[in-house]
A and B are shown apart, each in its own frame.
Chain A
Amino acid sequence: MFDDRSPIYQQIADKIKEDIISGVLLEDEQVMSTNQYAAFYRINPATAAKGFQLLTDEGILYKKRGIGMFVSGEARQSLLAQRRDVFFEEVVDKMLAEADKIGVPVGDIIKRIESVKGRDEA
């Protein structure tokens, strides 16, 4: 369920972010408790709590005293904005670097994009 690439709490936080972006978790909806996450993924509850803390610090989740954790009103918008910011760096720039390395001209990439786009719109 988890890999060794990053700490488990980071991966828990990423899963929750992914659920918010894809709409599985809605804004102002209550998130499962750290103990429920811990039992589900069979991890130490302190690890799950650390993931929640990370999301609270980022303003993605907020706490209602005595009730639990909820998704912030602006969580989805701010996560989408973050994703868009890194899209060019992480996806486009990396693709261009790879194309350059193996000798694919930029013109070919643009042609390809247009043909895939045309096919999708047809």
Chain B
Amino acid sequence: MTLGIEVNKLQLRYGSFTALHDLTFKLDGGKIYGLLGRNGSGKTSLLSILASFRLQSAGSVSIGGEAPFENAKMMEQVCFIQESGHMNEGFSVRDALSLAASCWPNWDDAYAAKLVKLYDLPLKKRATTLSRGMKSALGVTIGLASRAPVTIFDESYLGMDAPSRYTFYEQLLNDYMEHPRTIILSTHLIEEVASLFEEVLIIDKGRLIVHEETESIRTKGRAVTGPAEAVDRFAQGKTVFGEQKLGRTKSVTVFGELDDAACERAISEGLELGPVSLQDLFVHMTKRKGDEQ
């Protein structure tokens, strides 16, 4: 079973500060989603609402057609792994795992044991005394073994070294293929995981600015360099980022529908068209004035 998510005009205010402005989107069940945003953009606020850790100020959320907040039936369908993890004082790793096993009905003990071994997790040690990387490994183990129909990882890799992160990506992908479910990953390490995402959502200052298939984002972005007038002609009707000039040469990043004929014409006019990675596009789209100095 996979569960879809629908968010409609979602708002979250903390006093006079609005963390989320009118977010509206729909996630089909059974896909891997990437949630990208700069620090303080509202990612964790959004994910906390989806996981019913927090109640929105306005708007609605439905998971599999039901509102998740204070809904016991939904709680066991959603697993939310936060960056530092909420560990009970005095709990051993073993206790944390058995607590998790009792929370999520799809929990797979054998898979949890396999991950404990892969990450070398010390079962008897108190969870609060683990290193940051080991805490993350415990979080990832719980998130994966929960097999919850909606599993959310909010920067769950913090403190993990590169081999541990790659183990996470590999386990996530393989287990997802065997047990399809809705997975949302928020991350700053875009290049490492971009190829795992079927769709990407980018939020900036509490607003949703992109929700697209990852593959279509790749086809829409281009780095364009050449004579200024030709660059401007090509960029017409597209969103333009990161304009730079060197003499009569101009360079921009464009985002929009591109047809092959227009691209060929551009090349024949002496323009260079280069690819733009998801990470570069993200940087351009979320740039602020203060970043340019």
Query: What residues of chain A have their CB less than 8 Å away from a CB belonging to chain B?
Result: 2-9, 35, 38-39, 41-47, 50
Is the beta-carbon distance between B277 and A42 smaller than 8 angstroms? no
CB-based closest 10 A-B pairs: A4-B275, A43-B195, A7-B215, A46-B198, A35-B177, A44-B198, A4-B277, A5-B275, A7-B218, A7-B219
Bound complex: CA A64 to CA B270 (Å): 47
Which of chain A's residues have a CB closer than 8 A to the CB of B275?
3-6
Whether B215 and A4, one on each chain, are in contact in the complex, defined by CB atoms closer than 8 angstroms, is: no
Interface on B for A, CB 8 Å cutoff? 31-32, 169-170, 173-174, 177, 195-198, 214-216, 218-219, 275-277
Q: Which of A9, A41, A47 has the most CB of B within 10 A?
A: A47
Cβ contact of B169, chosen from A8, A42, A50, cutoff 8 A: A42
Shortest A32–chain B CB gap in Å is 13
Instruction: Say whether A38 contacts B219, CB under 8 Å.
Output: no
B196 A42 Cβ-Cβ under 8 A: yes
User: Which of chain A's residues have a CB closer than 8 A to the CB of B219?
Assistant: 6-7
Min Cβ gap B185→A in Å is 11
**Once bound together, how far apart are the Cα atoms of A101 and B127, in whole Å?**
68
- Residue picked from A5, A38, A46, most chain B C-beta under 10 Å: A46
Q: A7-B215, A50-B215 are in contact. Are A44 and B277 (CB under 8 A)?
A: no
Contact status of A8 and B218, CB under 8 A, knowing A3-B275, A42-B195: yes
Choose one: B177, B214, B215; the contact of A38 (CB below 8 Å): B177
Q: Are A45 and B177 in contact (CB under 8 A)?
A: yes
Neighbouring B residues of A39 by C-beta, 8 Å: 170, 173-174, 177
Q: Which residues of B contact A9 (CB under 8 A)?
A: 215
A41–B214 Cα distance when bound, in Å, is: 16
Interface pair A42/B215, CB less than 8 Å apart: no
